[in-house]
Amino acid sequence: MTKVTNKSVFIPEGATAATDIPDSSQIWTKTVAGGSVLMHTNDAGVDHNINGIARSADFSTATGTTVAVSGIPLGVEGIDICFEGVSTDGSGEMLIQLGTASGLETSGYRSRSVDDAGNDDGRTTHMIITYGVASGNQLDGICSMRLKDSANNTWVWSGSWARSGTVGMNFFAGFKSLGGAITRFDLTNTAGNTWDAGDLVLYYS
């Protein structure tokens, strides 16, 4: 008898799950731009990404005028950006610009940010995530992003900050449809101020 040494499991890959078999579910791989992700489809026909939750490396926000975040995995449907002690040396409002493999996208955002006094601002070129920051303010909080429409790569987000220095709170939300799968974003600000403290980390699901 020949010894079996190949222990690989081959899982079908495609754009959608196979035809349902009553009273059963299926594990399969979904073709996405640039690769594939592992999926589970239950008997009701609901798809679930089962790649699990992954953590990125830490990205420093203590130098430069732009923090470039890359390496977002293919097929993610949720991104939580966790900020700790983020600060700049000026009063420019903090912004995020989303990108794909083709580059950063500079239009089509519907985004607003408000402080705890009711003052607000909006942007169509970026996600605006602060209102009323000042030099040396340190901000802590989370921006939660979810893929609302995979056909159009539409992402929605909301989040909040606790602000030290000029003590207060910020709240923000919005949406953007991308031209492809999200792969990156840049953290910038409206005045070109230098980032001088803190860091961020991403959790993907």
> CB of 129 within 8 A of CB of 143?
yes
pTM reported for the whole predicted model:
0.80
According to the model, what pLDDT value does residue 157 have? 98
Rounded CA Rg of the chain: 20
Between these two residues, 40 and 89, which has the higher pLDDT value?
89
According to the model, what pLDDT value does residue 145 have? 98
According to the model, what pLDDT value does residue 36 have? 73
Residues 6+ apart with CB under 8 A from 196: 62, 63, 87, 88, 89
> Cα separation of 172 and 5, whole Å?
54
pLDDT digit string (tens) for 135-157? Answer: 989 999 999 999 999 999 999 99
Mean pLDDT of the chain: 90
Between these two residues, 42 and 112, which has the higher pLDDT value?
112
> Cα separation of 168 and 160, whole Å?
11
> Cα separation of 191 and 187, whole Å?
12
Mean pLDDT over residues 57-63, rounded? 96
pLDDT digit string (tens) for 74-127? Answer: 889 999 999 999 999 999 999 999 999 999 999 999 999 999 999 999 999 999
115-123 contact pairs (CB < 8 A, 24+):
115/168, 115/169, 115/170, 115/171, 116/168, 116/169, 116/170, 117/168, 121/93, 123/95
Between these two residues, 107 and 39, which has the higher pLDDT value?
107
Mean pLDDT over residues 14-42, rounded? 78
Going by DSSP bridges, is the β-strand pair 168-177/154-163 parallel, antiparallel, or unpaired?
Answer: antiparallel
User: Which of 31-35, 40-44, 76-80, 121-125 comes out lowest in average pLDDT?
Assistant: 31-35
Measuring CA to CA, how many Å separate 59 from each of 71, 95, 185?
Answer: 12, 16, 12
Taking 70 as the threshold, does the pLDDT of residue 24 lie above it? yes
According to the model, what pLDDT value does residue 3 have? 59
Domains recognised in the chain with CATH numbers? 13-49 (no CATH), 54-204 (2.60.120)
Taking 90 as the threshold, does the pLDDT of residue 190 lie above it? yes
Count of alpha carbons within 13 angstroms of residue 101, beta-carbon side: 7
According to the model, what pLDDT value does residue 82 have? 98
> Cα separation of 51 and 49, whole Å?
6
According to the model, what pLDDT value does residue 31 have? 76
According to the model, what pLDDT value does residue 1 have? 54
> CB of 188 within 8 A of CB of 71?
no
> Cα separation of 170 and 114, whole Å?
6
